[in-house]
Structure 1
């Protein structure tokens, strides 16, 4: 049975293919009952792959447990014809990578960067309190939505890890450019690997360049494990921005701040406080954005 026929069973009309994932395709769909749009991950269950079903069940478990203004909403899931379809919120305004490289070809103002970054930080803080590591934080997985496109939501929890009572894990997975040194070296890791990814993200927002790049995987690993990055432009950004990046890109995980410690930083605290009060309200957030996007 093809995707359109399977989706029709659950009143979902396929509008277009958004992308292809590791185990299946991603579609933009319309719920024919209420005309609402949804993103549906259509995953083919492969019983030849060890623990594949457990991985899918893990994603569903994580998605269904998360309720936060800065996390993409989980709607439902359906098992049919050796497939599982996961229905999630549709982010109407693209992702942060598109925003940076297509809508803002020049460097972004510091206040604007912090306005978006702090929303990401609030979302990461929430999942870390649930003992969840995202493991693939990157600009493409930071989604923009809402009436005005200023509401930031973290998406793609397909490779997240529920830590439960196990505080560290060792599976090497994630986007190579954002991998923390401990992952490159095959060591165990925890939530501090997400902090490293946040450092890479903030650096990219300030420079429109990746913190660590190389033409080969070996070269990339060497660059990451060295921890050396070119400084950001301090004529455009405050020294506090560089200090923030440096703290998150510490080669030693224990030296990296937690999300709670980051939120208490002088440069972030006022914005975090204001965003927390708005709690994802699109109208209030838009009014707040005017202060930062001038």
Structure 2
């Protein structure tokens, strides 16, 4: 972890993630493309700084073909900015793919959706069970956080809202993430666990099939009620057991 900001050429902004902005960059020494997340930490509270440290440690410890690979971190003290250098996924994210299908009035191939499900399960298996006595929860699974490489393989990314939990405190209580993909227990202010990540994965797969989330509403209140009741607004059928 000895890189410098000057080692990279910034090409363009990709989007915003948790805490910071993501840029597509090129390493000057070898011409390889990467993504770096620029996170300003100057105005952060101590709690948020600790969360940032947890995210960086999390990224460096996750090595799996279906998880976005972490390469380096650069601390730029003059601007109080941390740059996290990660794998560039040429296939972009699933949200972009879904929007493309909507515009062309087409649907995704069933075989592709099965592959996404299988590879996402592999990624979550790595997070949930790989490290002894530790559970890694993603907490924000959604199309915009699932990327594709050049071959169309899944890369789960943006662990900015993840937590590393010891087994003796295996639940997280903070309400974070994207409402469309939140599980009923989280909406109710309850405990977040591995099953909550699985619920969000189910919502993601549903959206890949239908090009819209399983639960929607005119506002957060109506959306929350539909998720709690487990009812799809289109068919008014119960989806939760």
- Fold in common (TM above 0.5): yes
Query: In 2, are the aligned partners of 1:7 and 1:14 still within 8 Å (CA)?
Result: no
Q: Does 2:139 align with 1:107?
A: no
Q: Displacement, 1:105?
A: 3.5
Unaligned residue ranges in structure 1 (runs of 5+): 1-5, 233-245, 252-294
* Cα distance in 1, alignment partners of residues 188 and 180 from structure 2: 14
1:186-205 aligned within 5 A: 186-205=189-208
What SS class does the counterpart of residue 163 from structure 1 fall into?
A: strand
Unaligned residue ranges in structure 2 (runs of 5+): none
* Cα distance in 1, alignment partners of residues 10 and 206 from structure 2: 37
* Cα distance in 2, alignment partners of residues 28 and 154 from structure 1: 17
Change (3 A) 1:112 1:226: same
Kindly name which structure, 1 or 2, has the bigger radius of gyration based on alpha carbons: 1
2:145 aligns to what? 141
* Cα distance in 1, alignment partners of residues 145 and 16 from structure 2: 14
Q: Displacement, 1:115?
A: 1.6
What SS class does the counterpart of residue 186 from structure 1 fall into?
A: coil
Query: In 2, are the aligned partners of 1:47 and 1:53 still within 8 Å (CA)?
Result: no
Count of paired positions: 227
Q: Does 2:67 align with 1:71?
A: yes
1:273-284 aligned within 5 A: none
1:31 corresponds, among 21, 27, 49, to 27
1:126 aligns to what? 126
Q: CA RMSD in A?
A: 1.9
Q: Displacement, 1:20?
A: 2.7
1:229-248 aligned within 5 A: 229=232
Q: Does 2:219 align with 1:216?
A: yes
Change (3 A) 1:18 1:190: same
TM-score scaled by structure 1? 0.72
- Structure 1 segments, 4+ long, off by >4 Å, are none
The structure carrying a bigger strand percent of its residues is: 2
Change (3 A) 1:66 1:222: same
* Cα distance in 2, alignment partners of residues 108 and 29 from structure 1: 30
* Cα distance in 1, alignment partners of residues 177 and 227 from structure 2: 14
Q: Displacement, 1:94?
A: 0.9
1:84 aligns to what? 82
Query: In 1, are the aligned partners of 2:17 and 2:158 still within 8 Å (CA)?
Result: no
